[in-house]
Structure 1
Amino acid sequence: NGLASIVGSAAAVGIASMGNRYGISAWQWGYIIWGTITVAVGITCFFALIDSPNSWVLQLTEEEKEIVELRTRDNAVVRKQTVRVAQYWEALREPRLWLLCIASLAHNLQNGGLVTYSTVLVSGLGFNSTQSILLQIPSGAFTVLYCGFAVYLNRRTKQIVYTAVVCYSISALGCLLLAVLPNTGVKLLGYYLSWAQTGSYVMLITVIGSTVSGYSKKIFYNGANMLAYTVGNFCGPLMLVESTKPAYVPTMWGFFACNLLNICCFLTVRFILARINKKRLPERSSEPTDVYLNLTDKEDRNYNYQL
């Protein structure tokens, strides 16, 4: 998303300068150009994208196949063709699922609002339309930097949840500045800080990947997250009410509250799973669990939640 924002913003200025060529407006050219590229890339991926780590296209050596096998075990999930409905019900009964969905929904309320109204928010600070588009390039760069920062911090500390909390804290500060600072160019600081939430979303996906086992259960968790992601991005722009422009102060306070809510959700998830880890510690076996049994993290008493 960050790289797309950088390239897209720069390209948008060029497309805007095309004017009414061949009887087609500049905004229509944008849909034609990016739509064509999207379709071309989609077709290419459909035929060329490898769908399995054991694909013959990779021409893996025996040593590489063994590495793939070990990585599969590390992921604690093996692809299955049968659906285990019991794993769906297990997921629905876990508070963790609902907390992560609430976090994803609240996260994407801000994401959807800021993405949709990005140029409107910046132009409201006194910049013209071209400047407002060009100032999206730094926001894309900050998005990339925040994601890199989150990954780096997680690798150094081995603390997924606390890394997300740090990023949400930075984002909350940005939203607070957007809510309280005068409506001038200085607000750009808050705008760019607010994108720190992108690093948190990387950690949210990582939490699902590292704390959920069982193929059907993991699919369900990811599906629920995608549903919350979609609803959040749909409803987020609706929070920016016309009567509160150009600063949208009530909305910024709402986004600030969303960041605080996400921090609470993540810390609660960590508290729940840390208690389970502590309880299981005396029960763990020295023999690793066979991942091909397709056990869930709840069924596998050897499973250790990475937090």
Structure 2
Amino acid sequence: MPAGAVIGTIEWTVPYLCYRYKGLRSYMVAITVSVTILASLLLWKLPQSATGAKLFAVFILAAYGGGYAVLMSLQIANTAGYTKRSVGSSGMFVGYCLGNFMGPLVFLQSEKPYYTTGWLVTVVTSAICVVLALVYRFVCARDNKMRDQGGVSEAFEHAYDDDLTDRTNPQFRYTL
């Protein structure tokens, strides 16, 4: 129950902070996944006798859930065009499901109790996620700046009638 309370709090607080303060979404994804990296390293590298620290790591391990909620909303906000948005949302969910399917398969029974392969895969893929979230923010900010310099202001009229994608609509601005 304590782990559920911690993660539930994170999953409510992180999206609320992103709603309340603009420009935090990619940063919050990076922060929550970094907490998961910390927990993974603690569970992997600490000795078995460090039960208190390992229990703390278990409590914070699923912090990425707050980032996932923000990431889903970021994908919807930053994709224009009905079909593109639907395919993007579906693709993210399929990727999430594949990760949940493949994740347990890298924790090899022969490596117990430290499960080196499993924790290494978790840390590396999470680190890649942090880097990609920050690169994505940079690219979106750069595209917004280029569109602003192009002299076309952000607008929403006829957005659904035209059904232009975020790439083809010069009035579209990415949410950061």
TM-score by length of 1: 0.53
How do residues 204-283 of structure 1 correspond to structure 2 at under 5 angstroms?
A: 204-282=71-149, 283=151
Match of 1:98 in 2: none
Gaps of at least 5 residues in structure 1 are 1-136
Alpha-carbon distance between aligned partners in 2 of 1:206 and 1:142, rounded to the nearest angstrom: 22
Compared with structure 1, are the counterparts of its residues 209 and 287 closer, same or farther at alpha carbon in structure 2 (3 Å cutoff)? closer
* 8 Å CA contact retained: 1:143, 1:195: yes
| 2:109 aligned partner, one-letter code | E
* 8 Å CA contact retained: 2:155, 2:172: no
Alpha-carbon distance between aligned partners in 1 of 2:18 and 2:57, rounded to the nearest angstrom: 24
2:65 aligned counterpart, secondary structure? helix
Compared with structure 1, are the counterparts of its residues 287 and 229 closer, same or farther at alpha carbon in structure 2 (3 Å cutoff)? closer
Gaps of at least 5 residues in structure 2 are none
CA RMSD after TM alignment: 1.6
Deviations 1:241-271 (A, max 9, x none): 0011233233223212222110011111111
Of residues 140, 143, 167 in structure 1, which corresponds to 2:4? 140
* 8 Å CA contact retained: 2:80, 2:164: yes
2:34 is equivalent to residue 169 of structure 1? yes
Match of 2:158 in 1: 290
Of residues 36, 61, 79 in structure 2, which corresponds to 1:194? 61
Match of 2:175 in 1: 306
Alpha-carbon distance between aligned partners in 2 of 1:218 and 1:261, rounded to the nearest angstrom: 24
Compared with structure 1, are the counterparts of its residues 147 and 286 closer, same or farther at alpha carbon in structure 2 (3 Å cutoff)? closer
Match of 2:13 in 1: 149
| 2:41 aligned partner, one-letter code | L
**Alignment length, in residue pairs?**
171
Q: How far off its partner does 1:181 sit? A: 0.9
| 2:17 aligned partner, one-letter code | L
Q: How far off its partner does 1:286 sit? A: 6.8
Q: How far off its partner does 1:287 sit? A: 5.4
Alpha-carbon distance between aligned partners in 2 of 1:156 and 1:263, rounded to the nearest angstrom: 22
| 2:43 aligned partner, one-letter code | L
Alpha-carbon distance between aligned partners in 2 of 1:286 and 1:167, rounded to the nearest angstrom: 30
The percentage of aligned residue pairs carrying the same residue is: 29
Alpha-carbon distance between aligned partners in 2 of 1:226 and 1:166, rounded to the nearest angstrom: 21
Deviations 1:56-76 (A, max 9, x none): xxxxxxxxxxxxxxxxxxxxx
* 8 Å CA contact retained: 1:212, 1:218: yes
How do residues 25-44 of structure 1 correspond to structure 2 at under 5 angstroms?
A: none
Alpha-carbon distance between aligned partners in 2 of 1:233 and 1:189, rounded to the nearest angstrom: 22
